[in-house]
Every structure is written in structure tokens, then in C-alpha cells.
Amino acid sequence: MGLLGKLSFKDQAFRLREDAILDATTRILSGKGFDLMTMDDVANAVGISKPSLYKHFKSKDDLVGEAMVRLIDGALAFLADMPADLSAKQKLAALLEWALRVRLEGGMPFLPSTSPQVREMLMKNLKYVMRVMKLNGQIEKFITSAQKAGDLNPALPVDVILFSYYSRTCDPAVEFLQLYSKLGTDDIVTHMLHVCFEGLQA
Amino acid sequence: MGLLGKLSFKDQAFRLREDAILDATTRILSGKGFDLMTMDDVANAVGISKPSLYKHFKSKDDLVGEAMVRLIDGALAFLADMPADLSAKQKLAALLEWALRVRLEGGMPFLPSTSPQVREMLMKNLKYVMRVMKLNGQIEKFITSAQKAGDLNPALPVDVILFSYYSRTCDPAVEFLQLYSKLGTDDIVTHMLHVCFEGLQA
DNA sequence: AATAAAATCTACTGATCAGTAACTTTTTTT
DNA sequence: AAAAAAAGTTACTGATCAGTAGATTTTATT
């Protein structure tokens, strides 16, 4: 065991701490957003000093970028594990449900921020950009397949469906229903899926 | 004319400047959001010094509150001017279209922010709260009427429709389509209206 | 056990920002 | 025309924050 065992344990502790930092970051980001989140918030939430964060991440931007990368990796993993026999529309619905449940448990959306500043920051993060392009590619493929299969409206441009779909993954109605209505998680998810695909009309 | 005329002109100049401040605030809020908007930003945009803003508004919160009040007054005025013969669903569609066009011209959404900090700030502004309640009341009335008329899905809770509807007035897909697609304003509006009421399905 | 290296922390720096004090300019009043 | 008041500005204050320097503690090595 000797030397190698001790080194491996130390690496594991480092990674565990890094995960704790990313978990805390995710929670604080979803509650406060990028601009109001401070490095002291994150450090306090983990129970370490702020400069210790810099052992793991070069800067606040780096930290947030990694948290976003982890989130998108989660979505990509979810897609990779999806049963192959689902239709493209069912896959889109399953991913939307996954994203909604992540959010209802305190996670955060993976739509690129509408804030130009945050978007610009994330666009400098190659790891993030590559993952977003991969995820986009997959979702676009589902959309065009579902349009061909007659499950999604073929008269709507792919862009319109893509951006609307992303927007439904972080629909603020979710937060409002959670805060102000008596609906439980399952009902919220069910209604949100319905509104996304069927709209509001009768 | 004498004294009264001069006073009235001075008051008018004061109000013109106040409107210019609110216009600048609206533009900057829609681009940067509340947290990143600074009083210096607003002052520079108007062409006056920062302390001069405090002749009109007590604080940053007061300024932003008034900008939001003005926006909701705009929506209420739009509703008041609506032809009486439109169905409830048509009224909802017309208001959504109005809101989307305001946003496409650089204005900002009137959905209460999902940021707890901004929400809390606005909840302290009685002028704002009263107007939101009035607007909510009217929109809820349209929703229940449209459900009864069979135009909106009666199986969806009013809350779900209300919050989803509000969310569609500030759908981030609009910004993304504006930035990244070749669609013009009218097409964006048309598609967004369609997605809101009919959803994404075929 | 003593020393060196690594890790973590407290205290600090420089930049930013809301709001204010003091100064200057403009307008009004006498 | 001179004085007073009002309006507007420059310069300032205190608080906050990302990131860092130096001090302290912990761990590893001899």
C-alpha cells in the first residue's frame, strides 16, 4: 500500500473537496446568479478559506465555467444512457424532464445566459463551448428527426424550436410555481412538459 | 404667461429629463440586468452627473422601481385601449405580441425577476406591487374566460397558465433568435405567439 | 526529534460602486 | 448690479469583492 496508497487517498480527498466546491457553486449560482455570487459565499458554504478555492480553480470565471461544464456533462451522460428505442420526441421530453427535476432540486439551468457578460465569459471557456456544441448537435438532430416523424411542427424553423426548447429547460414558471402554488414536483413537471409540447390552447 | 409659464416650462424640462433617465435605465436594465447596471451608466447615458440623478430618484432601487412601474403602466394602458370585441384569448395574444415587440425594440420584460434579491426589492415598492396585482388580476380574468370559452386548455391550472404566459413575454428564445438567426422581427413574433399557444408539436 | 515542504489561513491590495460633501456654476431675487 | 438661492458638478467616503502576500499550521522527509 505504502506510498501509492497515501498519494491516491490524498488525490481522492482533493477531488472530493473539488466536488464540494462545485456543488456549493451550483447551489449558489442557482439562487443568486453569477453576478451576485461571491467567492466568499462559496468558501463559506464549503467551510474553507477563500484563497483555498484558488488551489482548485484559477479564478471565479474558471470555477463557474467548470460548474457549467459538469452540468452539461450530466445532460450528455443522460442522453448517452437513454434507451435506444425511444422516438426523437420522447428523447427530447425525457431530457426536458431531467432538466426540470435537476432545477426543482436546487440545480441550475443549462441555457446559455441572456446576460452578454456571462455569455462572453463562457464563450472563452473551450471545454464549455465544445460541450455546448455537442449537446446542441444532438438536440438539433432530435428536432429534425421529430419533425420528419411528424411529432414536431415542421412549419417551425429548427432555430425557433431549439431556442424555445432550451428556454423551456429553464422556464421561470417553474420557480414561481414552486414558490407560489400548491403543486408538487411531479405535477409541475407534468404541466411543464405539456405546456412545452402542446402549448396553452385547448 | 409670466410666472406660471416659466414654472411650467421648468417643470416640463424636469419631467423630460426624468423620462430620459427612465429611458436610459430601461435600455441598460434590458442589456445588463439590475445587478450590473450602475448609476454612473445611467448618468453617462443621459449626459448628466451621477448626483443629479438623485434630484429625481431617492436611490437606485427607487429608479428601477419607477422604470418597472412605467413599463407595467404601459401594459395596463395597452389593455385599456384594446377593442372590446376581442375574445379573451385574442387579448392575451395581443398583449403578448405587444410585450414581445417592446423587447425586440430594446425594452425589457415585465415578468418579476427570478432573482430573490430583485424580487424582494420590488416587493417593497408599493406603486409597483399595486400595478402588478392589477395586471395579474386582468390576465387571470382573461385566462379563466378563455378556458370557459374552450380557447385555453381547461385541464391546466390557472397558475400554470399564468406563469407560463408571463414567462413567454420574456422568453429568452427571443434574444437568441435576434442574435443568432436570420429571422426578422415579424417572423420572430409570429413564431413566438405560435409556440406559446400551440406548443412545439405538430 | 528536527527540518523542510506543503497547505491553509488572516490580513491585505486595488478596483468598483452607491450615495454624499463640498465646491462651482447658473438662475432667481432683491 | 449684487446677493441669494438653486442646480449641477467634482471629489470624496465607506462598503464590497476578486485575487494576493505573508503568517501560521499541518504534513512529509530526514
Hey, what domains does chain A have and what are their CATH numbers? 1-57 (1.10.10.60), 58-198 (1.10.357.10)
pLDDT at site B1: 40
The predicted pLDDT at position B114 comes to 72
- Exposed/middle/buried for residue B35 (C-beta within 10 Å: 0-12, 13-18, 19+): middle
3-state DSSP assignment of residue B152: strand
Neighbours of A38 (CB within 10 A): 13
Q: How much is the pLDDT for A41?
A: 96
**In chain B, which stretches have pLDDT less than 50?**
1-6
Rounded CA separation B135/B80 (Å): 11
Q: Which segments in chain A show pLDDT lower than 50? A: 1-7
DSSP state of B58: S
Q: What Å value separates CA B116 and C1' D24?
A: 39
Q: Which of residues 59-88 of A touch B (CB under 8 A)?
A: none
Q: Which residues pair with A104 in a beta bridge?
A: none
The helix/strand/coil state of A26 is helix
- Select from B175, B177, B199 the Cβ nearest to the Cβ of A199: B199
Residue type, B58: K
Residue B61 CA to its chain's centroid (Å)? 17
- 3-state class of B119 per DSSP? helix
Closest CA to A35 of B31, B191, B34, B89: B34
For residue A196, what are the contacts with CB-CB under 8 A and spacing of at least 6?
A96, A164, A165, A168, A171, B199, B200
d(CA A136, CA A140): 6
Q: Is the CB of B40 under 7 A from strand C?
A: yes
**Residue reference for cell 456549493:** A24
CA distances from A65 to A70, B37, B42 (A): 9, 23, 30
ipTM exceeding the 0.95 mark: no
| Inter-chain CB proximity B117 and A31 less than 8 Å | no
* Cβ–Cβ gap B151/A202 under 8 Å: yes
What's the confidence (pLDDT) of residue B8? 66
Q: Does B151 sit within 8 Å of A198, measured CB to CB?
A: no
Q: How far is A162 from chain B (nearest CA, A)?
A: 9
Residue whose C-alpha cell is 425589457: B108
What SS3 class is residue B171? coil
Closest residue, by C-alpha, to the C1' of D10: B49
Report which of A128, A192, A139 is spatially closest to residue A163, judged by C-alpha positions. A139
Q: How far is B62 from chain A (nearest CA, A)?
A: 20
Which ranges in B37-157 belong to alpha helices (H)? Answer: 39-46, 50-53, 60-80, 88-104, 116-123, 126-148
Are the C-beta atoms of residues B151 and A202 closer than 8 Å to each other?
Answer: yes
Give the list of residues 6+ apart from residue B187 with CB closer than 8 angstroms, or none. Answer: none
Cα–Cα distance for residue pair A150/B149, rounded to 1 Å = 29
B33: left (phi over 0), alpha (psi -120 to 50) or beta: left
pLDDT of res. B100: 95
Residue in the structure block whose three cell numbers are 427535476:
A101
Which grid cell sits at A47?
467551510
Residues 4-43 of A with CB under 7 A from strand D: 6, 10, 36-40
What is the radius of gyration, based on Cα positions, of chain B? 19
3-state secondary structure of B79: helix
CB-nearest partner of A164 from B152, B180, B200: B200
